[in-house]
Chain A
Amino acid sequence: MILRVRFHGRGGQGAKTASRILGSAAFGGGYNAQDFPIYGAERRGAPVAAFTRFSDSEITERGFIFSPDVVAVMDDSLVADPLANPFAGLRKGGLAIVNTTRPAAEANGGRDDVTVITLDLTKRALETLGKAVLSAGIAAAVARSAGIDAEAFVGGLVDELKEVGLSDDVVSKNVALAGAVYDELKPVELRTEELPAKAELVPLAAVVSGDGSEDIVNVGNSASRHTGNWRVTEPVIDYQKCTDCMICYAYCPESAMSVGADGRIAIDYDNCKGCMICQAECPLRAIGSIMEDRR
C-alpha cells in the first residue's frame, strides 16, 4: 500500500508544514514516508504545493505527485484556479479534502468520481489560533482519513510545530484544533485507480524557434497578473472615519491604493494581497478587515 497526498495552499497557510506533519506522523506510525514542498520566489498568498507519500513498503517514487490518491485543498479559491489545478490527476476513487464553507458538491472541481470532504478550517484556525494558519487542521483531516493512529499523529504534529519554533502555548492550541478535526472524521476506505495519462514527447525541432531569445517585448505585462486572489483577509475602508490622509497609500507595498475620481482613497482589489499593513498604519483605525469570500 502507498498513499500519495498532494497539498495545495497559499504561501503562509502552512502547506509545507502540513506535508511534514503528515510525513512525520506516518513515519512515527511505522510507515516509510517522504515529503517535500515546491515553491518559487513568490510570497505570502501565492499558490504553493507540498507532497507526502507514505507506504508500508519501500517508496520508489520521488518528486511531483501527478497522480495523487488524496488532494488537500487549503484555500477555496484554489479549487478553480487554473494554475494550481488541484484536482488534476486525482485518482478515480480518490479523496479530496477541501477547506471551504461550500458544500462538497460545489467544491469537487467537477469530479464526481472522487470523495470530497469539506471543512471550514479557516474559521477554526481564526477562532483557536487567531490567524489563518491551517497546517495542523488539514494534516489532521488527512491523517485521520488515511487511518493514521492518533498517537503517531500527535507525535508528528508536536515535533513539526516545535521544529518551526512555535511556543508551547501555540503548539497546544494547534494540538487542540487538530484533535477536534481528527475526532470529527472517520477513516476513508480508499480504492483508487490512476487516470490514464500518456506523455507526448515533442522533438527538439518543435521547441526550437528561430530566435528563442529570452527577450520580453510585451513589457509591463505583470499588470495582467492579478495577485488579488492571494488575499486571505480583505481590507475595507470605513469612509465615515477616513480623512484621506493618504498614509495607507504611502505604506501599501503593492501600490494597490489609489485616489479615485471622487478624490477619495480606494483599494485596488485586483492587486491588493491582503497584507493588512494599511490597517496597521491607518492613524484613524478607518480600515477594517473581513475574511475573503470568493464565491
Chain B
Amino acid sequence: MKPELMTGNRAAASAARLARVDYVPAYPITPQTEIIETIASWVREGTMDSKFVQLESEHSMMTAAGAASLAGARVFTATSSQGLLYAMEMLYNVSGWRAPMVLMNVSRALAAPIVLEPDHNDVLAARDSGFLQLHSETCQEVADLVLLAYRVAEDRRVMLPAIVNLDGFYLSFTREKVVLPGQAEVDRFLLPYDPPRPIRATAPVAKGSAVMEGYLYSYFRYNLHAAALRAKEAFGEAAGEYQELFGRAYGPVDGYRLEDADYVLVMSNSFTTLGRQAVNRMREQGVKAGLLKLRMVRPFPGEEVAALLKGRKVAAVFDQNISPGMGGIFYPEVAASLYHLRGRPEALLPVVGGLGGKQLTSDEMCQVFERMRAVGKGTAKPDPMFLMREEELSKAKKALATAGVQG
C-alpha cells in the first residue's frame, strides 16, 4: 500500500477495519474519540462491516466487549485515562474470562489535577489486570501492533485480551507517514476468530464462574499468568510472519545503537523518539550511548532486557509515570530483571519525566546521559532525577502566584 499521512488515532481505526472486527462497543473521551468517530463514520457509510454501539459508560463498554468476545465476535474498543480507570473492574473480569479482545488506550495523565496530555499512569494502572500490553512509539507501530495484538491474543496458547497503547497528542493527533498493510495480506495473517468454546444457545458453556475457594482461584490465576508468559512465544512467531508479509520487524524490545553502548537509556512510547535523538547527539560527542525501548510491557520482557543490558556500564530507566511514594513504575521491573544477572550494569539510574505530557528538550535528555556518565565515573550518586527545567519552574511559579497559591 501507498504511504499516507495519518494520525495515530486513524491508524488504530484503520487497523481495526483491516482486522475485520465484528463489534465495536464505544464511549467517547479525549484524546481517544477520533478513533471511534472514524469507525462510526466508516460503519455508517458502509466501508466497514462491523456493529458499532455507543454504550453509556466505559464500564458497560468493557462488559459488552468481553461478552461479545466470548460469543465469538472479534471485538475492538478504545478508551483513555479516566475512562480506563472507570472500566478497570471489568478489565480483570474480561481477562479472567479469557476473552481475547483488543483495547486501544490513548494515554492521558490521570486527574487530579486535570490535564489532557499523556503519561503512562493510566495504562500502567491496568498493568496487573491480565491484559497483554503493547506500547507504540510511532503511528506506524500503532497500526502494526493492533494486528499483532489480535494474533497473539487469539492464539490458543494465550486467549487473553490485549491493550495497545499510544500516547495522546504525540501520536493520537500527530499525523505522520503510515503504510497500511493490504487487506489481502492481513487476511492471510489474521484468520477469522475461531474460539474453542464460544457461547451458543445450542452448546451451553459457563465462563467466569464464582469458585469461592482460594485453591481454585489460584489454579485459574496461575494459569492466567502462564498464558500471559506464553504470549511472548506467540508474539515471536506472529512477528516473524508479520515481517515476512509486511517487511517490518517487531520484537518485545527494540535496541537502538546498542552495539558497543556503555550508557543505555530504557524507555517506552512516543517520547522514545526524543531518546533516540539524544543518543545521536551523545554519539556525535563520542559518548557510547544507546537506547532500549520496551514495546511489550505485559508479559514483561525481562530476559530480553537483561540480555541487552548485560555488560553495560550504567543504564537509566526513564519512567513517564509516577508511583507516589515509590518513584517510576518500570524502574523496579527493570531492576528485578537484572538482579540475578552476572555482568549487570554497575548502576541503574531512575529518571521520571514527561508527566502530564511535560515537554522534553533534546538537551534535557542528553543530561540524563551526562548523569549516567558521572555515576559511572563515581562522581555522582544514582539519585533519582525528576525532570523539570528552570524556565518551566519559573513559569509554574508565575502561574501559582497569579492563582494565589502559596509556594
Q: Which residues of A contact B (CB under 8 A)?
A: 40-42, 204, 207-217, 219-220
Contacts and interface: CB of A to CB of B under 8 A. Distances in A.
Contacts of B219: 207, 212
B223 A215 contact: no
Interface stretch (B13-21, B206-214, B274-282, B396-404): B206-214
A215 B222 contact: no
B205 interface: yes
B317 to A, nearest CB: 28
B136 to A, nearest CB: 29
Contacts of B220: 212, 214
Given A208-B226, A213-B98, A215-B205, A41 B212 contact: yes
Contact of B223 (A212, A219, A220): A212
Contacts of A40: 212-213
Given A209-B223, A213-B223, 7 more contacts: A204-B222, A207-B218, A212-B219, A212-B226, A214-B211, A216-B205, A219-B205
Contacts of B223: 207-209, 212-213
11 contacts: A40-B212, A41-B210, A204-B226, A207-B218, A208-B226, A210-B157, A212-B224, A213-B159, A213-B197, A213-B223, A216-B207
Contact of A208 (B196, B197, B222): B222
B226 A215 contact: no
Contacts of A208: 222-223, 226
Interface of B: 96-98, 157, 159, 196-197, 204-213, 218-220, 222-224, 226-227
Closest 5 CB pairs of A and B: A212-B223, A216-B206, A40-B212, A208-B226, A219-B204
Nearest to B206: A216
Nearest to B209: A216
Nearest to B98: A213
Contacts of A209: 223
Contacts of B98: 213-215
Contact of B208 (A210, A212, A214): A214
Nearest to B212: A40
A216 B210 CA distance: 11
Nearest to A219: B204
B71 to A, nearest CB: 13
Contacts of B218: 207
A227 to B, nearest CB: 15
A41 B224 CA distance: 24
Nearest to A206: B222
Contacts of B211: 214
B224 to A, nearest CB: 7
A217 B205 CA distance: 5
Contact of B197 (A41, A210, A215, A220): A215
Contacts of A211: 159, 196
